[in-house]
């Protein structure tokens, strides 16, 4: 995609949602880190339900350790892979206390050295908790980047590196959220909703999905909750 089209794509997504927020509920970097670890192969809604019960009881490394692995499992057992994730969170809490005084580190290498934390999780924490312009690539962003031609790549790491290279500086901080929300609510996996897509003329995907029913009113994004609602949920 040409630089002018890339800039226009981001300009439109930014105009629709100038201050995008994570859909994971958190109030501290540690809560965010745990939520992102729990969100692997799980929905944000499912993670938020579990952490709404867990965090009032334990939301620091010390409290997670005091809960113990068996105790922690009881709070997160509705989430896929909860047994492995409970192990990771206990070890992660131990390492944060041993190596970082109980704080979440701001360095990628230190984050990726923690159990259950790969490049994607580290990028989300750096971006959302610390305002770093890292672009984590999940399944939604991987799909959007390839379908549109914005940043094609065979692996999430390739797409992430390409996105970080081609995204104009002023859009890098929020690029992760704009692309993830676009993939989740408009450019859906099975049936992208091209007929109401704000970037359809810039996207190289063919053939475009036609509208099944009456066209939505101009300027609306049917099926996508308004930005204010999502932000409120994330607080």
Please confirm, yes or no, whether 201 is among the known catalytic residues: no
CB of 34 to ligand SF4, least distance (A): 32
Site membership for ligand SF4, residue 192 (CB under 6 A): yes
Count residues binding ligand SF4 (CB under 6 A).
13
Site membership for ligand SF4, residue 24 (CB under 6 A): no
Please confirm, yes or no, whether 188 is among the known catalytic residues: no
CB of 172 to ligand SF4, least distance (A): 20
Please pick, among 17, 85, 138, 201, the residue that the annotation labels catalytic.
138
Please pick, among 17, 44, 85, 120, the residue that the annotation labels catalytic.
120
User: What residue has token string 């984050």?
Assistant: 111
Site membership for ligand SF4, residue 181 (CB under 6 A): no
Give the Cα separation of 90 and 207 in Å (integer): 48
Interface residue with ligand SF4 among 194, 224, 230, 234 (CB under 6 A) is: 194
Question: Cβ neighbours of residue 38 under 8 Å, at least 6 residues apart?
Answer: 47, 50, 51, 76, 79, 85, 89
* HSE toward the beta carbon, residue 167, CA cutoff 13 A: 25
Cβ atoms within 10 Å of 46's Cβ, excluding its own:
15
Interface residue with ligand SF4 among 199, 221, 224, 230 (CB under 6 A) is: 199
CB of 4 to ligand SF4, least distance (A): 17
If you ran DSSP here, which 8-state letter would residue 221 be given? -
Q: Stretches 59-67, 88-96, 119-127, 187-195: which one binds ligand SF4 (CB under 6 A)?
A: 187-195
Q: Stretches 50-58, 87-95, 165-173, 191-199: which one binds ligand SF4 (CB under 6 A)?
A: 191-199
Give the Cα separation of 109 and 43 in Å (integer): 26
Please say whether the dihedral angle defined by the alpha carbons of residues 39, 19, 59 and 132, taken in this order, is positive or negative. Answer: positive
Comparing CB distances to ligand SF4, the nearer of 208 and 233 is: 208
Closest CA to 29 of 103, 87, 91: 103
Cα-based distances in Å from 18 to 56, 89, 114, 175, 227? 31, 33, 32, 11, 9
Comparing CB distances to ligand SF4, the nearer of 85 and 184 is: 184
Which residues are known catalytic residues? 120, 138
Binding site for ligand SF4 (CB under 6 A): 147-148, 186-187, 192-194, 197, 199-200, 203, 205, 208
């Amino acid at each position: 995609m040409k630089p002018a089209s890339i800039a226009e794509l981001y300009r439109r997504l930014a105009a629709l949602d100038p201050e995008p927020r994570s859909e994971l509920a958190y109030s501290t970097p540690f809560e965010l880190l745990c939520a992102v670890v729990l969100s692997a192969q799980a929905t944000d809604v499912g993670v938020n339900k579990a952490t709404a019960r867990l965090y009032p009881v334990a939301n620091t490394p010390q409290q997670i350790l005091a809960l113990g692995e068996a105790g922690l499992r009881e709070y997160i057992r509705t989430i896929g892979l909860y047994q492995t994730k409970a192990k990771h969170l206990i070890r992660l809490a131990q390492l944060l206390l041993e190596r970082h005084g109980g704080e979440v580190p701001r360095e990628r290498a230190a984050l990726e050295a923690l159990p259950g934390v790969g490049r994607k999780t580290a990028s989300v924490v750096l971006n959302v908790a610390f305002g770093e312009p890292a672009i984590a690539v999940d399944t939604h962003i991987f799909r959007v980047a390839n379908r549109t031609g914005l940043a094609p790549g065979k692996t999430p790491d390739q797409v992430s590196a390409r996105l970080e290279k081609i995204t104009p500086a002023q859009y890098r901080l929020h690029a992760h959220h704009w692309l993830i929300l676009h993939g989740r609510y408009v450019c859906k996996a099975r049936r992208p909703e091209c007929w109401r897509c704000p970037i359809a003329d810039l996207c190289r995907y063919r053939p475009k999905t036609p509208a099944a029913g009456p066209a939505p009113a101009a300027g609306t994004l049917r099926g996508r909750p308004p930005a204010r609602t999502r932000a409120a949920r994330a607080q």
